[in-house]
Amino acid sequence: MTSKISRLFRPKRSDKLSIGKEGEDGGAATTMSIGEPFNVVRNYHVNFDKSTGEFVGIPPAWRHLLDESNISKEEQKAHPEEVVNSLKTYAKSIKRKSSTTKFMLVATTIRESDEVLEGEKDEKDGGVFTEDKAAGAGPGASKDVEDTTDGSPQLRQTENTDEDDGQVVSRRPRTQKPMTDAEINNALKEVASPGNPHDKYDVQKKLGAGASGSVVLAKVKSSTDVVAIKMMDLNNQPKKELIITEIEVMKSYRHDNIVNFLDCYYLENELWVVMEYLDGGALTDVVTETIMKEGQIAAVCRECLKALEFLHSRSIIHRDIKSDNVLLGMVGAVKLTDFGFCAQLSGDKSKRDTMVGTPYWMAPEVVSRKQYGNKVDIWSLGIMIIEMLEGEPPYLNETPLKAIYQIATKGKPDIKNEEKLSEELRDFIHCCLDVDPEKRGSATDLLKHPFLHKCMALSTLKPLVVAARQNTGH
């Protein structure tokens, strides 16, 4: 690698600078060559001038982000360090759009995932904040529908569906030792089963498609069972390492509340991942289109906590808990999916400090770029409860940068009509959304919480799925 870099930056003869140097014997001058600089690092020293209320030394790109963030001057003046930390977090993030769509195993459509942030630890090129002591949107809000008297599922009405377009162009983060395509392909071949999947499965219909491939419903030829198959185009996977992570986790660990991996096959430029088929789709449609009762929310939380207790006990953090990654079965099943962001913790590294996940569900310690443990999943579960109550996570009408700032500075978000919630639910949410991870409840602790005594039967989720599909036309 060093030799390649040297060749890459080796200047042409015409670019050399000759410097005359008289030899000791008074002979002709020798020639020294000065090549072009490489590995240039620009350090920014960011100050906040209290007298003017302005940041000094802020990089131009950060200035643009800040101007578009809707973070007011008053907020900047009150929390300058948090503003800089939020800028640093977001500036090192990736916005994953359709090119990295994650596929949900749903019955009718594949929902494109929300923006995903992923970046590395703070590096030398980040701004350094000091305070000058001498000088001193996304989908709109939803509203609940009044209770019906006939017991039918209640639907949400959306006031505004305009999408927020104040985003930053995505950038791939640099990794220290990226795997080559050949290494990734070899690793995928090793985990794949031999043979041709067409000999075992009869593809029935396409469930959805994205830029990276498609998901199909298939029948097992030797039985009446049906499965979901993710057909992933390996030529269009910017982060193929995540596929390996997802397969390794799902292949190693099986649980009633995890979408179970069944098999995978490596074809030329394509990977088929065979998984359980859940005909109820993602929880997202239910939370955005219907009104859930507390007992139904409790039931979903219980099933998710069972999965999290299983993962956490094996030193695995999911890191992307949200309604999109909770799948439902029409016969009464709630399962976690999408393990591409899972982190395996070792004994000597029990915390993670990589920026991964979806910003609106992120815990304060993640957006603040602090080390974190599996309690980040519990925070995300708390935000998902707000989804189930309100139809969307907090700050979804804000830009991602403003959302990161709000999470870092506000702590537990406001909950609409919180006073109308039962005491058990209010306390359960508080246990999930404690800013201090040490005080935040664990999956094991929360499974014993009185709120879960209110659990309704999982079969009561089926009418919500049906109503949501009717409302969306799926």
Evaluate whether 391 touches 412 at the Cβ level (below 8 Å). no
**Does 95 carry a binding-site annotation?**
no
What own/partner pairs with CB < 8 Å and gap ≥ 24 does 138-142 have?
138/163, 138/164, 138/392, 138/396, 138/397, 138/398, 139/163, 139/392, 139/396, 139/397, 140/397, 141/392, 141/397, 142/288, 142/390, 142/391, 142/392
CA distance 457 to 460: 6
Token pair, residue 217, equals: 């419903």
- Selecting among 114, 279, 320, 324, the annotated active-site residue is 320
Q: Phi and psi dihedrals of 444, rounded to 5?
A: -65, -45
Sign for the CA dihedral angle at 117, 121, 124, 129 comes to positive
Please confirm, yes or no, whether 320 is among the known catalytic residues.
Answer: yes
| Binding-site positions | 230
Catalytic residues: 320
| Binding-site positions for ATP | 230
